[in-house]
Amino acid sequence: MLKDNSNDTLMIQCDNLVKIYKTKDSEVLALQGLDMNVSSGELMAIVGKSGSGKSTFLNMIGGLDKPSAGRLFVDGQNLFKMNNKSLIEYKKKTVGFVWQNNARNLFPYLNALQNIQVPMIFTNEKKKKENALKLLELVGMSHKKYNRLAELSGGEQQRIAIAIALANNPRILLADEPTGSVDKHTADYIVEVFRELNRTLKTTIVIVTHDMNLARKVNRVVSIQDGKISSEMHAKQDYQQRLDSISLFSDIHDEFTILDRAGRLQLPHEMLEKMGVRDNKVMLEYMNDTIVIKPAADKKEVMIS
């Protein structure tokens, strides 16, 4: 039976998270001390360029990859201390995953209704068919319940994939580029599905995306750069008022640059280019309760004896 997943706790607590991928010849630092909290019932997006670490972070929350260092709690569970048995239970009951590639979500020889019931095989859930029908209705696909993968459009497959991810009533839904392979009209519909799920079930939803149209329709957008959070954007307006407006992305969110524990921050490359910063040196001044950042002046060194 579908349940309300809301509570007053943090769903994700991430402290100084590090991930190092080792190969025979080198090491790649995918996450470099990432700090992030996600509240229970939150609908948020993570953005960043390819290689920034956003998908690595999503995979760690999903129990698909292990952190190298730091602290990571999801729904009060310490992912660092999980054995294989605990991790299997975690992936079955705590998280649901929606992939961009629909082939990872659906069995092509099963129809939509049967696909949604597959994850329920591993539970004691009664009335599996009844609950699967409710999920189909929730994602607007009741009319395609007997259709197989080849008989569904890309957008329809993705909506079925969302229903599959919700089959075991997970505490958190993770979506990796869920609108990456569909047209704008279908992408808009998928975004509305996520919003409706978040509103009705209070499921915590974390979306990794390049789609700014999707990102502008959530209350919080976190930008990851070089394995750390560089900035956050929080909605200015009331949720429904903002969604009804046609304002630009920058007009509906306040953007905040994030300081790490050592007081360091990341400045966007576009901003540094506009400032004319040509190397790794800038000048700081404190003026009228404001920190001013300027390009380093071209001055000769003066030796004082």
Quote the pTM value. Answer: 0.76
Q: What is the mean pLDDT of residues 206-220?
A: 85
Domain borders along the chain are: 10-275
Residue 217 φ then ψ, to 5°: -100, 15
Q: What is the per-residue pLDDT for 96?
A: 93
Q: What is the per-residue pLDDT for 185?
A: 86
Q: What is the per-residue pLDDT for 264?
A: 66
Q: What is the per-residue pLDDT for 243?
A: 47
Residue of higher predicted confidence among 298 and 203: 203
Residue of higher predicted confidence among 205 and 251: 205
Residue of higher predicted confidence among 114 and 52: 114
**What architecture is domain 10-275?**
3-Layer(aba) Sandwich (3.40)
Residue 7 has pLDDT above 60, yes or no: no
Residue 225 has pLDDT above 90, yes or no: no
Q: What is the per-residue pLDDT for 92?
A: 87
Alpha helices (H) along the chain: 54-61, 84-93, 112-117, 128-138, 154-165, 184-201, 212-215, 239-244, 249-252, 269-275
pLDDT digits (tens, 9 = 90+) for 51-77: 888 889 999 999 998 888 999 999 999
Residue 255 φ then ψ, to 5°: -105, 135
Token digits of residue 189:
């519909």
- 């750069």: which residue's tokens? 225
Is residue 240 very low, low, confident or very high in pLDDT (cuts 50, 70, 90)? very low
